[in-house]
Amino acid sequence: MGFNSPLLWSESSAGVVSGVIINSSIKSKVKIVEPTSLSPRAIAVKLLAAVLEQRQPLDSLVGYDGASLAINSSGGEGLIRKLQQQVQSLPSRDRAFVRLLVVTALRHLGEIDHLLAERLRLEFRPKDEAARHLLRLGLVQCLWLETPAHAAVNATVAACEELEIAHLKPLVNGVLRALYRQKEIESPLKSLDGFVLNLPTWLRQSWQKTYGNQNARAIYRIIASPPPLDLSTVPNLPPEIKRDLLENHGGIELPNGSLRLIETRAVTDLPGFDQPLWWVQDAAASLPVQLLDIQAGEEVAEFCAAPGGKTLQLASRGAKVWAIDRSVGRIKRLQQNLARLQMTDQVTTIVASVESWQPQRQFKKILLDAPCSATGTLRRHPDIARMKSAAEVAALALVQLRLLQAALELLAADGMLVYCTCSLEAIEGEGVIAAALQANPQLEVLRISAAQLSQGGDESAFTAMINPDGFLRIIPCHWAEYGGIDGFFAARLVWRDGIRA
């Protein structure tokens, strides 16, 4: 039988679709036309394939945050650039819909594939793999987005022609209509354990070992839900802007002073966007800066600074910031944010790595926001779970230790360094600090207190975030009453008795 043989599909009463290859001489009567532009669902399929098959960060594909592409093969860059252009060519509403489709599929991929495996008794040929992604997105519309059946099924089936899998239209139609019928009786998700199905085994076991099974499941419940939008603000935010954000945009004020918007919308439509008043930053990411105890006019060296949330915090408190990052694209994004918030005069941006930058001086305040697995941000970036492995996390920890060592070379005898990551993995937080202390006998930990984080507010809101070693260890189920928070780790390091090693 020829590889290009079409498939004949049949649907059982239980909604299980079987496939058999029929004579290769039978040709599909559907003519595949190369579209000049793709529908949102077809673009979403290509995005999902790029993440799962080529390990491309989703943010790099949708042009967010200056994220870098990961080009794995010759010719790959051109195809990815074309996909980026297709995404950017969409109207903003369609672009948001596409991202929602893909993010939700990645967040619930294990459940989705489990349900598909129950309904499909076949293996897709490599050239038809787009059908699997299309079905995944169809399930997202049915089970999570509550899209009406006629809209979801018709548009999803129509996308088959654009993706050159028109011969699979009966299959896609049959699976999705059967699922909608089943949903009317009882949700197919009712008996599934997302904690087991949606998390890679290595990650689930890491959390269970580090935080215990109960906390690990509590972490999962938070990251399985769509994230809110957190805003950090300048110290003198006008009362009328704050009131507008809180009252007219479903906002609440968090214990650290961040404003959380539950009813999210385009950031550019929010009050104060065109003024130097606030920026998007998860509440957890805002806490490490508070540990530096910045005074107006102090100089701070911030390594791995882009995209710049912490840079903006430092500048808004009057610091003179040296913002160093090795990514040209991310530095450009940082510079744009600085320009919008009118803070360019307070920040010197430098494209360099921690190890290569040689300022011929030392600093009393250093912030190292080390590159990491970012598992603490899975709620916002569910593609991370599909792109990292235990071995890669271990390799990252070695890089982090090397960067920390390089940053310590620039720390003055009476200075303080804050090391932080947005990872939930102990090897990237507590493990790196333990290794640094062993390598530098004169180095010691300066314990963190709830009072430093509360800044005169309710200290009890921060007590659980400080572990017995005096580190900041935030897990997503902290502040559950406010909807949770990103995972984060931070430690303060100083030279013992003010004497450098």
Share of the chain above pLDDT 90, in %: 76
- What pLDDT does residue 339 have? 92
> What b/e readout covers 263-279, taking b as 16+ CB neighbours within 10 angstroms?
eeeeeeebbbeeeebbb
Q: What is the pLDDT of residue 35?
A: 39
Do 315 and 348 form a contact (C-beta atoms < 8 A)? no
What phi and psi values does residue 171 have, to the nearest 5 degrees? -65, -50
Q: Give me the pLDDT at residue 122, please.
A: 75
| Cβ(422)–Cβ(377) below 8 Å | yes
Inter-residue contact 425 to 475 (CB < 8 Å): no
Tokens of residue 199, six digits: 């998390």
Closest by Cα among 355, 447, 446 to 408: 355
Q: What are phi and psi of 14, to 5 degrees?
A: -85, 0
Per-position DSSP letters for 456-467, written without gaps between them: TS-GGGTGGGB-
Which two three-digit tokens encode residue 350?
């430098």
Is 172 within 8 Å of 9 (Cβ atoms)?
Answer: no
Q: How far apart are the first and last CA of the chain?
A: 72
User: Is 409 within 8 Å of 356 (Cβ atoms)?
Assistant: no
pLDDT at site 64: 57
Cα–Cα distance for residue pair 97/103, rounded to 1 Å: 10
Structural domains in the chain, CATH included, are: 7-185 (1.10.940.10), 289-498 (3.40.50.150)
Determine the pLDDT at residue 22.
26
Q: Write the DSSP assignment of 200-224 as a string of letters.
A: -HHHHHHHHHHHHHHHHHHHHHHHT
Other Cβ atoms less than 10 A from the Cβ of 392: the count is: 11
Residue 321 contacts by C-beta under 8 Å, 6 or more apart in sequence? Answer: 299, 300, 302, 305, 311, 314, 315, 346, 347, 348
Q: Is 444 helix (H, G, I), strand (E, B) or coil?
A: strand
Contact present, 210 and 393 (Cβ < 8 Å) = no
Contact 61, 83 (CB under 8 A): yes
Strand partners, 419: 368, 491
Q: Are 492 and 445 in contact, with CB atoms under 8 Å apart?
A: yes
Tokens of 324: 């160093």
Average confidence (pLDDT) per 10 residues, the chain, 501 residues: 32 36 29 58 96 92 59 59 90 93 97 94 86 97 94 95 95 95 91 97 97 98 95 93 91 95 81 89 95 94 94 95 94 92 94 94 97 97 95 97 97 97 98 97 96 89 96 98 97 88 61
pTM of the model: 0.88
Give the distance, in angstroms, between the CA of residue 440 and the centroid of all CA atoms in the same chain. Answer: 33
Q: Which two three-digit tokens encode residue 486?
A: 């990103």
CA distance 408 to 495: 10
The whole-number pLDDT of residue 12 equals 35
From the number of C-beta atoms within 10 Å of its C-beta (0-12, 13-18, 19+), residue 356 rates as exposed
Q: Helix, strand, coil proportions of the chain in percent (round to 5)?
A: 50, 15, 35
Query: Which among 286, 281, 275 has a CA at the least distance from the CA of 340?
Result: 275
Residue type for position 182: Q
Neighbours of 33 (CB within 10 A): 10
Q: Give pLDDT, residue 36.
A: 46
Q: Parallel, antiparallel, or unpaired: how do β-strands 17-21 and 259-261 relate? A: unpaired
